[in-house]
Structure 1
Amino acid sequence: MYLAKVVGTVVSTRKDDNLTGNKMLLVKELSDTMEIVGRTEIAVDTVGAGTGETVIISKGSSAKYALGNPTTPVDATIVGIVDSVEINI
């Protein structure tokens, strides 16, 4: 899992039946200093996140289970909205 910033939305009128009813968002990974790093990724939203929010991303097989179906074609799922972060470096 990692922290990311929601930077946009994705609209898809045709998609796998297992994804029907799920919102897809564009996210960018955050570094340990809370700076945006890396490339943009699409994540399925399970918690009602919105643009500009910091979220927790689950990847791989864990992302599939977060949606309740291990056969869903998903690589990244938003599983939490972050209220605050405390960093002690």
Structure 2
Amino acid sequence: MIKATVTGRIWSTKKLREMPAGSILEVQVEGTSSTMLAFDPLSCGIGEKVIVATGSVAASWFPGKAPPVDALIVGLIDETLNPNA
């Protein structure tokens, strides 16, 4: 899984019929300058820290035949605890 921050929302007027209801968000992977697009079933907002599952783990979350999604937001990070701090 990947920790990331939501940096934007993608608006699409046309998409595949197989895509479920939800948003596509742009996220920046923590500690890098890399960004990716992730499907968002949780209604996350810009600036929120999220947990992203990728690959077959993301695709298998959907019931039935998986849509073409390879990055899925699976949680919001409220706080990160560091026992060594």
Q: Same fold (TM over 0.5)?
A: yes
Distance (whole Å) between structure 2 residues aligned to residue 48 and residue 62 of structure 1: 20
Instruction: Structure 1 unaligned segments of length 5 or more: list them.
Output: 32-36
- Pairwise CA distance, 1:2: 1.2
More helix by share: 1
Equivalent residue letter for 1:72? P
Paired residues for 1:25-44 under 5 Å:
25-31=25-31, 37-44=32-39
Gaps of 5+ in 2: none
Match of 1:57 among 52, 57, 71: 52
Q: How many residues align?
A: 84
Q: Check the 8 A contact 1:7/1:28 in 2, yes or no.
A: yes
**How many Å separate the matches in 2 of 1:17 and 1:6?**
25
Closer/same/farther in 2, CA of residues 14 and 50 from structure 1, 3 Å limit: same
Computed over aligned residues only, the root mean square deviation of the Cα atoms, in angstroms, reads 1.6
| TM-score normalised per structure 1 | 0.83
TM-score of the two chains, using structure 2 as the length reference: 0.86
SS at match of 1:17: coil
Shift in Å, 1:67: 3.0
Distance 2:64 2:49 in 1: 25
- Secondary structure of 2:21's partner? coil
